[in-house]
Every structure is written in C-alpha cells, then in structure tokens.
Amino acid sequence: MKSSKMQHGLRFDDYTRYRRYCSTWLRRLYKSLNFTHGRGKYLKKPITASTVTQVRFLHLVLYTAERAWSHAMEKRQPRWSKCSSTKLLDW
C-alpha cells in the first residue's frame, strides 16, 4: 500500500491524483468482482462475512477508506498551495 501511495501522488502531497487513482482502482475491483449496480439506481451492497469470498472484497473496504482520506486531505489543503509559485507572481 505504501508503494502505491508514493507512486500515485502522495510523494508530492498531490491528494487529488491519489484520490483519482483510488477511484479508478475501486471501479476496476467492483467490475472484476461483479459487484456493480448496473445502469439502474445505486443501491449500496453491504459487504458482510457471507459475501466475502475473496481477499479482493477486503480491498474494496481498504481503497474506499483511502479514497475518503485523500478527499479529506485534499479539502484541508489551502487553495493557493495547489498553484506554483511562478503563477502567483504573474498576476
């Protein structure tokens, strides 16, 4: 998990990039496990002990928590920290 964090944005405190990585990974996991809701209305499927047949179901919980954490950290950052210092000097 630590290597994926470093490779996908957290080395430079880019929480947006890491959140997008987690979202893409979650989408891929849901599809590979046939755990999607289809084209209909979204209904959250609970992950219980009876539904967990593979380790990848636990990865769903882990990456959902990681995505939520990175979203919170992204909101915590000040807006001006996303801009480079040269852009701040230009205006």
CA-nearest of 3, 59, 72 to 28 is: 59
The number of beta carbons lying within 10 Å of the beta carbon of residue 14 is 17
**pLDDT surpassing 70 at residue 83:** no
pLDDT of residue 82: 57
CATH code assigned at 16: 1.10.3450.40
Give the pLDDT confidence of 31-66 residue by residue, as tens digits.
Answer: 999 888 778 888 888 888 888 899 999 999 999 999
**pLDDT surpassing 70 at residue 89:** no
Into how many domains does the chain fold?
1
41: Cα within 13 Å, side-chain hemisphere? 1
Angle between helical axes of 56-76 and 15-32 (0-180°, round to 10): 160
Considering the entire predicted model, what is its pTM?
Answer: 0.74
Residue span of the structural domain in which 36 resides = 2-90
